[in-house]
């Protein structure tokens, strides 16, 4: 199961792997084998049309809460969307995830999913960097969790990322792996972007970028054109230093 953590607001898409997720048999009955609405025709009983029962609704349970937001991928994979955690929490809470494709017969896998209190972002440093990316950024806030980075194996809990969202077009997003430093600090590098503009810097503990997975950060990072050095005056100097060197180029601001 991945990811194995998400926020209390729910909305985390949790991919569950297994076997014999035969979703097709829970679809509405086809005419073959369906119960018929009978009518009398002389001394015969004829099936005029299939009378199909409503199909059962697949369920995922996260502790005491359940969700019908279950997406069938294939016979070995489904996606369940975590529901809102009803209780208020100050520390992470672990619940058990189970699946019932027929809405009644649940698995007994005991998969653990961790709900985390809402994280916040209060400051980033620095607040500007080059278009080509790679600027180390310290993100300060609260409620961060040591969920590593998204370069780990797919079954790992480690999916902590920084999300960069254009202030001009919120559909334009970039993500980079984040490193957990403390409950109040993370570090990530800025991505490479195409144009000089401002981006909001946010954090996702689940590795996903939908609204419910982010903190709602308002901290902005300005991307500017990479400086270009054209000439250097006084290219030779003493090993003791102290000389003034004039550098000419473009985009020095």
pLDDT at position 28 over 90 = no
Can you list the pairs that 150-155 forms with residues at least 24 positions away whose Cβ atoms lie under 8 Å?
A: 150/175, 150/177, 150/207, 151/177, 154/2, 155/1, 155/2
Beta carbons of 14 and 212 less than 8 angstroms apart: no
Which fold does the domain 120-224 belong to in CATH?
Immunoglobulin-like (2.60.40)
Reported residue count of the chain is 253
Determine the CATH number of domain 5-116.
2.60.40
Instruction: Provide the pLDDT for residue 160.
Output: 92
Structure tokens at 73: 């991928």
Whole-prediction pTM: 0.75
Beta carbons of 13 and 84 less than 8 angstroms apart: no
Kindly report the number of other CB atoms within 10 A of residue 84's CB atom: 14
Q: Give the DSSP letter string of 41-103.
A: ETTEEEEEEEEPPPPPPPEEEETTEEE--EEEEETTEEEEEPPPP-S--SS-EEEEEEEETTS
Beta carbons of 107 and 16 less than 8 angstroms apart: no
Q: Do domains 5-116 and 120-224 have the same CATH topology?
A: yes
DSSP code at position 2: B
Please, what sign has the CA dihedral across residues 35, 23, 61, 10? Answer: negative
Question: Exposure of 178 by Cβ count < 10 A (0-12 exposed, 13-18 middle, 19+ buried)?
Answer: buried
Structure tokens at 113: 């999913």
How many angstroms separate the CA atoms of 190 and 132, rounded? 9
Beta carbons of 83 and 95 less than 8 angstroms apart: no
> What residue ranges do the domains of the chain occupy?
5-116, 120-224
Per cent of the chain over pLDDT 90 is: 57
pLDDT digits (tens, 9 = 90+) for 32-76: 444 444 455 555 555 555 555 566 788 999 999 999 999 988 889
- CA nearest neighbour of 11 among 73, 82, 78: 82
pLDDT digits (tens, 9 = 90+) for 161-214: 999 999 999 999 999 999 999 999 999 999 999 999 999 999 999 999 998 899
């Amino acid at each position: 199961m991945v990811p194995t953590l998400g926020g209390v607001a729910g909305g985390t898409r949790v991919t569950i792997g297994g076997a014999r997720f035969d979703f097709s048999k829970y679809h509405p009955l086809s005419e073959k084998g369906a119960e018929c609405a009978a009518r009398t025709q002389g001394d015969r009983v004829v099936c005029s049309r299939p009378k199909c029962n409503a199909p059962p609704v697949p369920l995922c349970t996260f502790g005491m809460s359940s969700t019908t937001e279950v997406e069938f991928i294939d016979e070995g994979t489904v996606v369940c969307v975590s529901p809102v955690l009803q209780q208020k929490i100050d520390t992470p809470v672990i619940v058990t995830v189970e699946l019932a494709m027929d809405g009644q017969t649940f698995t007994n896998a005991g998969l653990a999913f961790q709900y985390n209190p809402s994280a916040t972002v209060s400051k980033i440093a620095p607040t500007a960097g080059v278009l080509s990316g790679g600027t180390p950024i310290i993100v300060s806030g609260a409620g961060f969790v040591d969920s590593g980075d998204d370069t780990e194996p797919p079954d790992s809990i480690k999916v902590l990322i920084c999300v960069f969202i254009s202030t001009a077009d919120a559909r334009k997003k970039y993500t980079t792996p984040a490193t957990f430093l403390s409950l109040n600090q993370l570090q990530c590098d800025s991505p490479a972007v195409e144009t000089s503009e401002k981006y909001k810097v946010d954090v996702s503990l689940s590795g996903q970028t939908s609204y419910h997975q982010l903190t709602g950060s308002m901290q902005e990072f300005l991307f500017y054109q990479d400086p270009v050095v054209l000439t250097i005056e006084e290219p030779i100097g003493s090993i003791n230093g102290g000389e003034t060197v004039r550098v000419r180029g473009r985009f020095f601001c």
